[in-house]
Amino acid sequence: MSVDFSKETRFSAAVLTVSDTRTAETDKSGAHIQMLLSEQGHQTVQYAIVPDEKEAIGRTLQTWLMDEQIDIVIATGGTGIAPRDVTIETVKPMLEKEIPGFGEFFRYLSLTEDIGTRAMLSRAAAGTAGEGKLLFALPGSHGAVDLAMRKLILPEAAHLLHEARK
């Protein structure tokens, strides 16, 4: 008998948009993540926009990973290969256990359902961080956020949390 964790466990999330140009009014990806979380009964307890700078990203993520109120941290933006894209370089050292399948599945789904071979440019990543928390790093586009949230994060987050907290 399999357990459907997606409806069984509600969680609290923090959403971080990494961008030099977006504001609260123009951050469609961050807003979309929050909307999708809310639609599934999950709560966003923190939200911020920081520039593409390791120190700003790291400081915010470290604070949130120590917050007992937060179960999952989702960062969007700064995952490409441009010189200013430093989200992955900031996130990966914070991961206790990387979940390589997340990035692999994300790129596969992007290839087949969305953007074709440009999917190879994505460095989306996920893993456990903090004490029993999950940390996801997604590209900044609305389409990428939608794909990751609907196909990967929302269906599996509760199960991943369960496993991380055993």
State pTM to two decimals. Answer: 0.94
* Cβ neighbours for 32, distance < 8 A, ≥ 6 positions apart: 142, 145, 146, 149
Secondary structure of 111-149 in HEC code, one letter for each residue: HHHHCHHHHHHCCCEEEEECCCEEEEEECCCHHHHHHHH
Amino acid making up residue 69: Q
93-131 pLDDT per residue, tens: 999 999 999 999 999 999 998 789 999 999 999 999 989
Structure tokens at 63: 């604070």
**1 pLDDT tier (thresholds 50, 70, 90):** very low
Structure tokens at 138: 């997604």
Structure tokens at 103: 């990035």
Q: From the options 3.30.1540.10, 1.10.8.640, 3.40.980.10, 3.60.15.10, give the CATH code of 8-164.
A: 3.40.980.10
